[in-house]
Amino acid sequence: MGMLTDSHAHLDDEQYAGEVDGVIDRARAAGMTFILNPGCDEPTSQRAVALSETYDLVYAAVGFHPSDCAAYDPAIHRPMMKDWCDRPKTLAIGEIGLDYHYDDGAPRDLQKKVFEEQMGLAGEWGLPIIIHDREAHGDTLDMVKACMNRETSGVFHSYSGSVEMAREILNLGMTLSIGGPLTFKNSRKAPDVVAYVPIDRLLIETDSPYLTPVPFRGTRNEPAYTRYVAEKVAEIKGLTVEAVEAATFANCKALFKF
């Protein structure tokens, strides 16, 4: 059995419309056994759940991305999310967090309010969280420290912070996930982070259809390409690719309890 995992892929994205069967076939051929598809709003969360109920190796997470948080209405979406989270293949709340990259994005106060609300739901329902943190490292970490209870874990997906911040995240009992940018020639912080983080606290991902790794950079990403991330992690940590795949599979299983 293959042990390749993709802890974060958006198969619900319109770039895959009509092509998901082929994407899944290629992932399976690459030895993949687990793909986690997080939602970003109501429609994508709904599609993530539907995909998880269609394909055996696909699992879902549901939540409101900071860029889409203006659409979140607790009266409507709390019961909806509870229904989704009661499905056996919905494993986490996400992706949620803070994104300060766009000036025209959702107001920061609103992002924080929705992030706090969803972390509360994760704690209440006993689910891990999948955190999106873009150019908001300090506020994201402060909110996680303030809002998360020790029984609830989670992952900082597509991690782009420093080794110092990684240390704080690990001290909270959380996990980091690394994707395609690790393979880029101009990647500066990511290799140091991978060297620092213990292999039992690391996940790998594609964030498909985005952030395609070398040698396919510039084309549409897909879960099968997680292999190139695993190869780079193996190179940095002096491990075999098989050892990285086995460890990240075990880490996914421990975090998401599938």
What CATH number should be reported for the domain holding residue 248?
Answer: 3.20.20.140
Percent helix, strand, coil in the chain, to 5, is 50, 15, 35
Of the candidates 142, 150, 247, which has an alpha carbon nearest to the alpha carbon of residue 204?
A: 247
Contacts of 86 (CB under 8 A, 6+ apart): none
Write the CA distances from 40 to 12, 93, 96, 119, 231, integer angstroms: 10, 10, 8, 15, 29
As for how many domains the chain has, the answer is: 1
Which residues span the domain enclosing 67? 4-256
Q: What's the rounded Cα separation, in Å, for the pair 33 and 24?
A: 10
User: What burial letters (b/e) apply to 26-65, b meaning 16+ CB within 10 Å?
Assistant: ebbebbbbbbbbbbbbbebbbbbbebbeebebbbbbbbbb
- pLDDT tens series, the chain, 258 aa: 679 999 999 999 999 999 999 999 999 999 999 999 999 999 999 999 999 999 999 999 999 999 999 999 999 999 999 999 999 999 999 999 999 998 777 999 999 999 999 999 999 999 999 999 999 999 999 999 998 765 679 999 999 999 999 999 999 999 999 999 999 999 989 999 999 999 999 999 999 999 999 999 999 999 999 999 999 999 999 999 999 999 999 999 999 999
DSSP 197-222: S-GGGEEE---BTSSPPTTSTTS---
- Model pTM? 0.96
Q: Are 63 and 76 in contact (CB under 8 A)?
A: no
Which H or E element spans position 18?
Answer: none
Q: Where are the beta strands (DSSP E) in the chain?
A: 4-6, 32-38, 58-62, 90-99, 129-134, 154-156, 175-178, 202-204
